[in-house]
Amino acid sequence: MVLNTVRRLAALFALVLMTALPSMAQDGNGRPESLTVFLDCEHSCDFDYIRRTIPYVDWVRDREEADVHMLVTSQTTGSGGRNYEVQFIGLKALDALQDVHVFLSGSINTDAERREGLTATMAAGLVRFLLTTEMGRNLQVSVPVLAQSQAPDLQQGPIVDPWDYWVFNIRMNGDVEGEENEKQYSVETRVSADRVTEEWKLGLSGRFNYRENRFDLSSGTVRSTRRDGNVYGQVVKSVSERWSAGFTTYNTTSSSNNTDLSVSLSPTVEYAFFPYSQTSTRDFRARYEVNFRHNRYDELTVYNETEQTLVQNQFMLFTNFRQPWGSAGARLSMESYVTDFEESLFDLYNVSLRGNLDVRIARGLSVSFDAEVSSVHDQIWLPQQESNDEEILLGNKALPTSFDYEVGFGFSYRFGSIYNNVVNPRLGWGG
């Protein structure tokens, strides 16, 4: 039903285009008087397709030159689809006009169906702004008349879902690579079951990876294996527009972290400083949980343990903003072990801070920066026996450390013609 409506909208705006183009006013330079539009979309937007489908506006590459800033954000839905929010922000003489349109893409929609629906939503939102141009005087609206059998049943009652909102997913990937003296095999399996409503969020997901490498060296054959996997579950209750509470469980196995099995159960509470309904554009939350954890190790640890039962505190602050000026995000995480029921472990902790920033600071100029730094004092799983050089070089064993960091930065500067309407795929790469 949604896709049929989207297709009718696409046909409608194609008709609008055909009726409007012949009689558009011309400016002194011979360019039709229309809108200049800046598309701001991080992913999921096929710009070539959009320009071909909506050629009656001038697409520009800089917000400063635009009459309309089109900001696209999206979030995953409970069924595995995407909910797109398209903000139309008027600039210059149109700065009093603001609008928001929403498009819902189902989990079983193809890329072509998603692309078609999102582009039709963009076209619908631009009509209000086109009415402020000379083209607006020539716009015509045509609505197809549906046969009685095709008309929607406005008296239809609540939707009956035979799956009761449950969504299941199973995926398996395998990979084989080889050369004369090197071979690699890997298998990844993922499964999930989720049920998401306004009041409750239930989820269970699992992932398991196995990788094996073989190298034929002058000293002989070296074989390397690595396994890791996890099972994550959650039960979350929507308490209010800003509060959530529930339980999570996180169970892992990792050969590189000397963990045969780690099982946890964590009561969790979360507060959103902005309402959850605004998280696609601004998100600032605080979360606290208490982890009751039991670890079983592959080898004897540096603390002379093969098994441990622990209590761990975890507090997290994180924020993400997606605004016309760019995007920014940060996350502060603090974890500490409280006790193993025999002695205090307050000196075992981990504090990490991560941030990212992507900002347009001038016409055509944008800068990006991301960094993460951690103070690491909680590697209770480290094996007592030192790893050999082969295991370390192959990435099969983690090394002890008291800190880690990562920093990245970059900039982009584009100049020249501000117009960006032409699509020419010749000698391209098909993307």
337: exposed, middle or buried (Cβ count in 10 Å: 0-12, 13-18, 19+): buried
> What is the rounded CA–CA span in Å between residue 356 and residue 367?
11
Name the CATH topology of 239-413: Porin (2.40.160)
As annotated, the residues of the chain forming the CATH 3.40.50 domain(s) are 2-138
Secondary structure in 3-state letters for the chain? CHHHHHHHHHHHHHHHHHHHHHHCCECCCCCECCCEEEEEECCCCCHHHHHHHCCCCEEECCHHHCCEEEEEEEEECCCCCEEEEEEEEECHHHCCCEEEEEEEECCCCCHHHHHHHHHHHHHHHHHHHHCCCHHHHHCCCCCCCCCCCCCCCCCCCCCCCCCCCEEEEEEEEEEEEECCCEEEEEEEEEEEEEEECCCEEEEEEEEEEEEEEEEEECCEEEEEEEEEEEEEEEEEEECCCCEEEEEEEEEEEECCCCEEEEEEEEEEEEEECCCHHHCCCEEEEEEEEEEEEEEEECCCECCCCCEEEEEEEEEEEEEEEEECCEEEEEEEEEEEEEECCCCECCCCEEEEEEEEEEEEEECCEEEEEEEEEEEEECCCCCECCCCCHHHHHCCCCCCCCCEEEEEEEEEEECCCCCECCCCCCCCCCCC
pLDDT at 306: 93
The predicted-structure confidence for 384-399, as pLDDT tens digits, reads as follows: 887 777 666 666 677 8
The predicted-structure confidence for 354-380, as pLDDT tens digits, reads as follows: 999 998 888 778 899 999 999 999 988
Residues in the chain: 431
Residue 282 pLDDT greater than 60, yes or no:
yes
The predicted-structure confidence for 140-176, as pLDDT tens digits, reads as follows: 777 776 665 555 555 555 667 788 888 899 999 999 9
pTM above 0.85, yes or no: no
- Nearest CA-CA partner of 235 in 199, 283, 188, 203: 203
> What is the rounded CA–CA span in Å between residue 364 and residue 339?
54
Residue in this structure with the two tokens 């360019």, named with its chain if needed: 31
> What is the rounded CA–CA span in Å between residue 147 and residue 113?
24
As annotated, the residues of the chain forming the CATH 2.40.160 domain(s) are 239-413
- Assigned token pair, 29: 């330079």
Report how far Cα 314 is from the mean position of its chain's Cα atoms.
Answer: 24
CA R_g for the chain: 27
Q: Residue 302 half-sphere exposure, CB side, CA atoms within 13 Å? A: 11
Mean pLDDT of 191-201: 91
Mean pLDDT of 407-426: 78
> What is the rounded CA–CA span in Å between residue 128 and residue 270?
39
| Mean of per-residue pLDDT scores for the chain | 83
Within 10 angstroms of residue 124's Cβ, the number of other Cβ atoms is 19
Give domain 2-138's CATH number out of 3.40.50, 3.20.14, 3.40.1350, 2.30.30: 3.40.50
The predicted-structure confidence for 31-83, as pLDDT tens digits, reads as follows: 347 789 999 987 778 888 888 888 888 888 888 888 999 999 888 887 778 88
pLDDT at 60: 86
The predicted-structure confidence for 297-348, as pLDDT tens digits, reads as follows: 999 998 889 999 999 999 999 999 888 888 899 999 999 998 777 777 778 8
Residue 405 pLDDT greater than 90, yes or no:
yes
